[in-house]
Amino acid sequence: MSTPRIGFLLSLVFVLISFTSLRAEEKPGALIVVGGGGLPKSITERFLELGGGKETRLVVIPTASSKPDSDEVLISRWKKRGAAEVTVLHTTDREVANSEAFVVPLKDATAVWIGGGSQSRLSDAYQGTAVEKELIALVARGGVVAGTSAGAAIQTKVMIAHSNPVPVIATGLDLLPGAIVDQHFLARNRMNRLLNAVQQHPTLVGIGIDEATAIEVHGQECRVLGNSFVVVVRSEGAGKWPNIQSYNKGESFSLAPESEESQ
């Protein structure tokens, strides 16, 4: 075989190895953002599928609830749904949440479920701590973080804390950049609240998720799961009516700016 041909083949092998390594590094995980209310089997099944199926190592965070179910109840519930291992992680003490010992289960987890209640409890306990850092790291290595109701609202840095129609804004976890989420959307008549939130933060995409419904997020791409619909609100600038679109089960949308989508 001629020297030039050997050189070409070696170069090709190098390119293929480099491409494979790059693809291996580019393994973003997913978010499941649930609008509260009922929890259809299709959503929990998809969540566990993304978390590793029968090998899912799940961490459940019930901190949003004022009276969380016992560890035994939570572990039993998720094992019946198909998770292989289930650990409950709960504290209201920020110092504990920021300790290396507390976050050990998150380092080995493939999936995290954040339950409903008050998103402010979650923010008070975990925002800016080692828990937030490990949740972001879990998604970066290919895992999945899901949350329902308060567990949905907490996933955005700019977080709707409470009040309707003019929302009180607080700081959540930086899992879903570029967006602001509202839940129980139709059931609690929160369209005006989401519009006001986007008006206050016009660079963000507002996402209103109805009950028993979720979005599955990979990077900036979102797909609707569950029983109802999702409303997406984008600011069109000062003095202009916002762009409002709705998406049903199985439909997809992007969080990318429209100028990027059209390229």
Contact between 155 and 32 under an 8 Å Cβ cutoff? The reply is no
Crossing angle (nearest 10°) for helices 130-140 and 119-126? 100
Q: Look at residue 237 and tell me if it is in a domain.
A: yes
Q: Look at residue 13 and tell me if it is in a domain.
A: no
Q: Look at residue 5 and tell me if it is in a domain.
A: no
> Residue 238's pLDDT band (boundaries 50, 70, 90)?
confident
* CA 214 from centroid of its chain's CA atoms: 10
**What is the reported pLDDT for 17?**
38
Q: Look at residue 175 and tell me if it is in a domain.
A: yes
Cα→Cα distances 42→32, 80, 215, Å = 12, 15, 12
> Residue 257's pLDDT band (boundaries 50, 70, 90)?
confident
Contact between 231 and 191 under an 8 Å Cβ cutoff? The reply is yes
Predicted confidence (pLDDT) at residue 11 exceeds the cutoff of 80: no
> Residue 12's pLDDT band (boundaries 50, 70, 90)?
very low
Mean pLDDT (the chain, rounded): 91
C-alpha span between 37 and 181 (Å, rounded): 15
**What is the reported pLDDT for 13?**
38
pLDDT tens digits, one per residue of 116-141: 999 999 999 999 999 999 999 999 99
Q: Could you give the dihedral angle defined by the CA atoms of residues 232, 235, 241 and 246, in that order, rounded to the nearest 10 degrees?
A: -10
Q: Look at residue 72 and tell me if it is in a domain.
A: yes
Q: Look at residue 22 and tell me if it is in a domain.
A: no
Query: What's the predicted TM-score (pTM) here?
Result: 0.88
Range of the domain at 44: 29-261
Average pLDDT over residues 84-100: 98
The CB density around residue 186, as the number of other CB atoms within 10 Å, is 17
CATH number at residue 69: 3.40.50.880
Average pLDDT over residues 194-208: 97
Task: Tokens for 50, please give them.
Answer: 């993304």
Q: Look at residue 1 and tell me if it is in a domain.
A: no
Q: Look at residue 123 and tell me if it is in a domain.
A: yes
Instruction: Provide the number of structural domains found in the chain.
Output: 1
> Residue 14's pLDDT band (boundaries 50, 70, 90)?
very low
Is the previous residue joined to 165 through a cis bond, with omega within 30 degrees of 0? Answer: yes
